[in-house]
Structure 1
Amino acid sequence: MAQSAPPPPADGNPYAQQPGTAPQPQPTDGNPFAQQPTDGNPFAQQPGAVPPPPAPFAPARSGNVALGLIVAVVAALVTAGIYGAIIGATEREIGYAAVGVGFLIGLAAGKLGGSNPVLPVVSALLSLGAVYVGQLIGVAMIMADVAKVSLSTMITEHFDLVTSGWKETADAMTFVFFAIGAFAAFSGAKKAAL
C-alpha cells in the first residue's frame, strides 16, 4: 500500500507544523543555526561540543624517529656489504646497485621513522657512507683475490693499500654513484613517509 502525503497546510506555509507530528523544539535565542538537541540523531551537533579543526592537506604520518634511524643504519651496513660483494664479483661499479643502496636506506628510515624532515637528510648521508664502504669492500675483495689472502686479512692488515687502491680507481663515475645513492635515499625516505 502506498502512503499518502499529508495535506498541505491551509495557510500555504510549507514549514508549518503538520497535523499528527510532534512539535520540534525551537532555539530559545531565535537563532535558527544554534545547536539543536539530538533527538536520537547520532549526527546532530552535541550541546557544548567544539567542531574539529579542518584537516590539513596531507596529514603528517608520525613514526618513531629513533627506530627509523637505527633501522637506516642497519640497512646501510647490510647494503654496503652487498654492494661491495657485487663490485668484488663483477670487478666494476654498477649504478643500479648504488640506487638500490640509497633507496633501501631511505625506505627503511621513512617507513619506520615517519615524516620527520631529518630522516631524508640522514638517509642521504648514510647512503654516501654505505656506497663508500661498499666500494672499499669491493676493492678489498679484488685485491685479496690478486694477493691470494683472505678478505679479512686485506681489510685489517692492509687497509692502507685498500684506500690507496680505491683512490687510484676512483673517477668521475665513482662520485656520480655517490650522488645517485644519496638522491635515491633522500627521495625514498620522503616517499616512504607518505
Structure 2
Amino acid sequence: MSQQFQPPAPDSYTAAPAPAPARRGGNVGLGILAAVVAALVAAGAYGGIMNAIDRQVGYAAVGVGLLVGLAAGKVGGRNPALPVVSAILSIGAVYLGQLFFIALALADYAHIGVADVLSDPGIGGLNDIWKESAEAMDYLFLGIGGFVAFGAAKKVSD
C-alpha cells in the first residue's frame, strides 16, 4: 500500500521575506560627521606618532587617509560626494597632524604644555613655522592622505 505524495495546501506556505534594499545613498550627513571625527582623531595620532619617532612616515599618512575614507564610506554609503569630502578632510587631517607635531616639539623644547604653545602664538604661528619648514615630502604626504581617503571611501561604499 503506497501513498502518493500530497502537496500541502497553498495557504500553509509562508511567504519569503523581501530582499534587503540595495545600499544606495546612505546617510551623507552622518558619513561626513564620521569622517570629521575620524580626521580629528587621525590628526592627533599622526602628530603624536611623528613626535614619538621624531620624523614623518608615509605609512602614517596612508593610515590617516584610510581611517577617514573608511569612516565616511561605511557610515555614509554610496554618495559620490563622500570620496571627495574624505580626500579634503584627510588632507586637512595630515596638515593638522603636522601642526600638532610642531606644537609638541615646541612644547618639549620650551618645557611647557602643548596648551601653552597653542594659546601663545596660536595656530597662525604654527602655520608660519610650517610654511617656513615645509619640504616636498610634507606636500607629498598631504597628497598621499587625500588619495588614499578618496579610494577607501569609494571602495568601501561599493
**TM-score band, normalised by shorter chain:** 0.7 to 0.9
Indicate the residue corresponding to 1:69 in structure 2.
Answer: 32
SS at match of 1:126: helix
Alignment of structure 1 residues 1-194 onto 2, 5 Å: 61-159=24-122, 160-194=124-158
Give the distance between the partners of 2:130 and 2:89, measured in 1 at CA: 19
- AA at the equivalent of 2:118: I
- Structure 2 stretches lacking a partner, 5+ long: 2-9, 14-21
Give the distance between the partners of 2:127 and 2:110, measured in 1 at CA: 16
Q: Deviations over 1:84-113 (max 9, x none)?
A: 111112221111000100111010000010
CA contact (8 A) 1:143 1:162 kept: no
CA contact (8 A) 1:87 1:139 kept: no
Give the distance between the partners of 1:69 and 1:99, measured in 2 at CA: 19
- AA at the equivalent of 1:101: V
TM-score normalised to structure 2 length: 0.83
How many Å apart are 1:60 and its aligned residue? 5.3
CA RMSD of aligned residues (A): 2.1
- AA at the equivalent of 1:155: L
- Structure 1 stretches lacking a partner, 5+ long: 2-39, 43-58
Alpha-carbon distance change, 121 to 147 in structure 1, aligned in 2, over 3 angstroms: same
CA contact (8 A) 1:68 1:111 kept: yes
Which has the larger displacement, 62-71 or 111-120? 62-71
SS at match of 1:141: helix
TM-score normalised to structure 1 length: 0.68
SS at match of 1:93: coil
In percent, how many aligned pairs have the same letter?
53
SS at match of 2:29: helix
CA contact (8 A) 1:75 1:104 kept: yes
Structure with max Cα Rg: 1
Structure 1 consecutive aligned stretches of length 4 or more whose deviation exceeds 6 Å: none
Residues paired across the two proteins, number: 143
Q: Deviations over 1:11-61 (max 9, x none)?
A: xxxxxxxxxxxxxxxxxxxxxxxxxxxxx6x9xxxxxxxxxxxxxxxx653
